[in-house]
Amino acid sequence: MTANIETSAQNDKNLLGKQWTELLDRIVENSTRETERKQDRSRRTERQILNAALRVFARDGISRSRIADIAAEAGISTSTLYEYYKSKEDLAYEIPMHHLAEFYAKYRDAAPYTLSARERLVLYLTMSTDYAREHAEWARLLYLEIWPSVFVSETELRHRINDFVRVIHFLIDEGKAEGWIAADRNNYETTALIVGGSNQIIITWLLYRTPKNLTKAGAELAERIVRLLEMEAG
Amino acid sequence: MTANIETSAQNDKNLLGKQWTELLDRIVENSTRETERKQDRSRRTERQILNAALRVFARDGISRSRIADIAAEAGISTSTLYEYYKSKEDLAYEIPMHHLAEFYAKYRDAAPYTLSARERLVLYLTMSTDYAREHAEWARLLYLEIWPSVFVSETELRHRINDFVRVIHFLIDEGKAEGWIAADRNNYETTALIVGGSNQIIITWLLYRTPKNLTKAGAELAERIVRLLEMEAG
Amino acid sequence: MTANIETSAQNDKNLLGKQWTELLDRIVENSTRETERKQDRSRRTERQILNAALRVFARDGISRSRIADIAAEAGISTSTLYEYYKSKEDLAYEIPMHHLAEFYAKYRDAAPYTLSARERLVLYLTMSTDYAREHAEWARLLYLEIWPSVFVSETELRHRINDFVRVIHFLIDEGKAEGWIAADRNNYETTALIVGGSNQIIITWLLYRTPKNLTKAGAELAERIVRLLEMEAG
Amino acid sequence: MTANIETSAQNDKNLLGKQWTELLDRIVENSTRETERKQDRSRRTERQILNAALRVFARDGISRSRIADIAAEAGISTSTLYEYYKSKEDLAYEIPMHHLAEFYAKYRDAAPYTLSARERLVLYLTMSTDYAREHAEWARLLYLEIWPSVFVSETELRHRINDFVRVIHFLIDEGKAEGWIAADRNNYETTALIVGGSNQIIITWLLYRTPKNLTKAGAELAERIVRLLEMEAG
DNA sequence: GATGAATGAGCCTTCATTCAT
DNA sequence: CATGAATGAAGGCTCATTCAT
């Protein structure tokens, strides 16, 4: 009987593991855009545009940015830019997508199901703050413009951002299963605590460069949040 | 000796009480000042403009809003609007200020120093989520546009928003003095937890109207955060 | 009994007369746009724009015309032009409408039902060629750009141009009733002959300034067409 | 003397016959010449381009058509199109030319001088309406865009279109010689009647698909016009 | 011969703001 | 106080055309 229970638990674990892998694979896949350009020159130009746009958007804000500036920054003509992106909006969506895809891929590779949910959560928060630090311009765009924006409504991008929260939801469920998150706690509330706290220090850093060491602060906060939840669960 | 200690504590308490009152008074005064002038202008028209601007800003976003639309919404001509506000920017700042001032004033009146810091913190978070619910359009503006915006930089408004965090900082210090917040904890981190979590449920509500009952959710989250901190403090 | 018949004919005539008046009144009314501008300056500017647009359109053709040129020709700024017409297309439609309305009004006043259908038809063709001569730039636009254009499809303007043919249809019916148009002749064919012939000399004149005296040529052609039809009717 | 007269008439007739043949030959040759070159290029691709251009021009109108669309419609790249036609204008002229040449050639072969001028005129009008019906897209282009257009001025194409009228002029002169067209009638007027009427039913058909059977309507109208002229000539 | 890539030259349109009445 | 009218200053986007491979 004990064996049965263990087997059952084992099955559950395998099932969850499969779901976890599937979740991340799907997220990575959805956020990864197929680049259809073939020639090398073309691919190089596309990268130049992306980099330039990121710089300009982060500097001036999306709505104040002029595509002429982006093109100039990329060292190409305005019309060439339109060969790659059919509108300013189009470009403004591509930028965050690009990095989101990279982040998700990185995390997927770093967080196998062999780690506990607790470990995976801490890793998730740590990696996301660290990724923000490493790509500050992109983070500025995502956390201060895109994420809060009403205007992302019902776009592909919106779903990709929601994926970020979806991962945490999944981990909270696992955390409850593992017993270190109080089962009677509302998931939305817990999520708000985790995501809100994590984003808040990123935003504070983006605006004031405080704390100095974002990576360390992110890791510490992640650990602290998890401990608080553990305490709460008793 | 006990008397001395008590007296000292009493003094500290009085001192802190005085500082608390002064802090709130200053915050209220600063945020109110701007709004109080212009008594020569028609009060009614001014209110119409403010309401119209709020609606339009919340609907279209600040940068996409046109003052012609605001004027139309207010039922006046564009040129008349300029008699009241000398620029679009001017108007865009006035809106959040107006409500911030109201919120601060409300809170000041509701949170005398006779309440413990713990009570005042819970009240602060509860009232802010409730105020957001009551003024959803304004909240949309503040939480999704103004607050995260890079462009508020170094303006009067920026300071008024910082005041929001300042209050929490103050309360955290008091909480440490009262002993229910772990003294060795970094204030920034604790603030991130409190502000981030609180804002997060407001933002979630603004975007998805989840949770249904924001007031209740806000109150519960506030209580939960405080309990977590208490546990942590041992 | 004879009296009865006469009365009946009289009634028919009155009925047709009423229909004729109603037709023309409706045509004039439909083509006359209400100008809502009140101030004098505004009305003057509108007239300047209309004149300028006519000149530029006739000179460069509608699709090649730049509204900047039209504004310059009108002595106003480009943006002012947009205060009056919300797009280039809008303006391109207003021009022909304006003159069509004038022509229809002129003809209505000159062609009471006391004239025979024959007289009214000759007058119609004569006046339309003469109007074209008098407003050559407008005629260039109407006969060489608007009328044949595929793009007028299903617009208000299209209907107003169809009105031109509608009048002729009506007169052909009357002509048959009066007996000078063969009753067994297909109306479309007869219309093609009348409208086609009439337009053709206008077009030829517009392109080559031949014949020299369009008014005279128009009158002669009109008379000739009617005589041909009379002969045919025997 | 009779013989002399007859001989003279015979001579005249021969002379006119020679002129007629020369006229048509020249017209066919002039319109064909341009089309005959470029044998080095792929005949197939050229035809694809021509067909595609015709479709796109007829659909969108010349000025609104984009050569990128034409290339796409032809299934080739834009740059390849430029290997065949050095500009959009070039292409826009080639299209009508191509079919005009075909029509003129067809008519020449169908209208020998053994037919009377009356027969040749009826045939001319009948064939031209029928050709329009058979090549509706081309007709749309020619009758609604090219022919009335101011912009054809002084080009090769202009002359080819004028050829259309030239044939009618010639036939009117013959008709006067044959006695069935009143000698005292102004040729321009008569031409306007013939060309205008004929074109008008084509245009009406192009715009409204009325009459249903254009070929029949064209033939009937041609016959009717000729009869009217005969009556007039007494 | 075919084409992917790049671009210059324009043009339309928007909108915050001013000013005369 | 109110507003009708006017505008300067931009900025997004299009498209015919060229060129290197």
Chain length of chain A: 234
Which chain D positions have a beta carbon within 8 Å of C151's beta carbon? 61, 64
> Is A192 a residue whose pLDDT tops 50?
yes
Q: Are B201 and A196 within 8 A, CB to CB? A: yes
Over 70: is that where the pLDDT of D41 sits? no
Q: Please indicate whether, in this complex, the C-beta atoms of D200 and C192 are within 8 angstroms of each other.
A: yes
Chains touching chain A at 3 or more Cβ pairs under 8 angstroms? B
The shortest CB-CB distance from C200 to any of D144, D195, D211 is to D195
Task: Output the pTM of the full model.
Answer: 0.84
| Residue D152: pLDDT over 60 | no
D128: closest CA of chain C, how far (Å): 16
> Can you tell me the distance from the alpha carbon of D75 to that of D87, in angstroms, rounded to the nearest whole number?
18
Chain D contact set for C228 (CB, 8 A): 228, 231-232
Q: Is B193–A195 a contact, with Cβ atoms under 8 angstroms apart?
A: no
* Nearest nucleotide to B77, CA against C1' atoms: F3
Scanning every residue of chain A, which has its alpha carbon at the shortest distance from the alpha carbon of B226?
A228
Q: Which residues contact B189 (CB under 8 A, 6 or more apart)?
A: A201, A217, A220, A221, A224
- Tell me the average pLDDT across A131-142: 95
* pLDDT confidence tier of residue D1, bands split at 50, 70 and 90: very low
In which residue are the tokens 């074209």 written?
C132
Average pLDDT over residues C13-42: 82
Chains A, B: CB contacts under 8 A, how many? 107
C-D CB pairs within 8 A amount to 109
Structure-token pair, residue D10:
């015979």
Tokens encoding B185: 């904890």
Give the nearest chain D residue to C214 (CA atoms). Answer: D189
Asked whether the predicted pLDDT for residue A226 surpasses 60, the reply is yes
State yes or no: pLDDT of C15 exceeds 80. Answer: yes
Chain E positions within 7 A of any protein Cβ atom are: 1-20
Residue D117 and residue D178 in contact, taking contact as beta carbons nearer than 8 Å: yes
Chain C residues inside the 8 Å CB shell of D217 = 188-189
Q: So what's the pLDDT on residue C153?
A: 63
Q: Which chains touch B (3 or more CB pairs under 8 A)?
A: A
pLDDT in tens, C38-97: 567 788 899 999 999 999 999 988 889 999 999 999 999 999 999 999 988 889 888 888
Our measurement of CA B75 to C1' F3, in angstroms, reads 12
Mutate to test the interface with C, among D89, D146, D150, D199 (most CBs of C within 10 A): D150
The CA distance from D130 to D222, in Å, is 12
Q: Is the CB of residue A215 less than 8 Å from the CB of residue B212? A: no
Q: What DSSP string runs through D73-90?
A: HHTS-HHHHHHH-SSHHH
- pLDDT, one tens digit per residue, over C101-134 is 999 999 999 999 999 999 999 999 999 999 999 9
Q: Which nucleotides of chain F have an atom under 7 angstroms from any protein CB? A: 1-20
The alpha carbon of residue D9 and the mean position of all alpha carbons in its chain are separated, in whole angstroms, by 30
B200–A193 C-beta distance less than 8 A: yes
In percent, the amount of chain C with pLDDT more than 70 equals 90
Contact D192 C201 (CB under 8 A): yes
Question: Which chain C residue shows the shortest CA-CA distance from D230?
Answer: C228
Q: Identify which has the larger pLDDT, A35 or A2.
A: A35
A37-90 pLDDT tens trace: 557 778 899 999 999 999 999 999 888 999 999 999 999 999 999 999 999 988
Task: Give CA angle at D222 (D186, C219), nearest 5°.
Answer: 35
Residue C190 confidence (pLDDT) = 97
CB-based contact A87:A148 (threshold 8 Å): no
Would you give per-residue pLDDT tens digits along chain B (234 residues)?
Answer: 455 656 666 777 778 889 999 999 999 998 886 555 555 557 888 899 999 999 999 998 888 899 999 999 999 999 999 999 999 888 988 888 889 999 999 999 999 999 999 999 999 999 999 999 999 999 999 998 888 775 556 678 888 899 999 999 999 999 999 999 999 999 999 999 999 999 999 999 998 899 999 999 999 999 999 999 999 998
Mean pLDDT along residues A202-228: 95
Residue C88: other Cβ atoms inside 10 A: 18
User: Domains along chain B?
Assistant: 18-35+94-233 (1.10.357.10)
Given a cut of 50, whether residue D61 has pLDDT beyond it is yes
pLDDT tens column, C41-57? 788 899 999 999 999 99
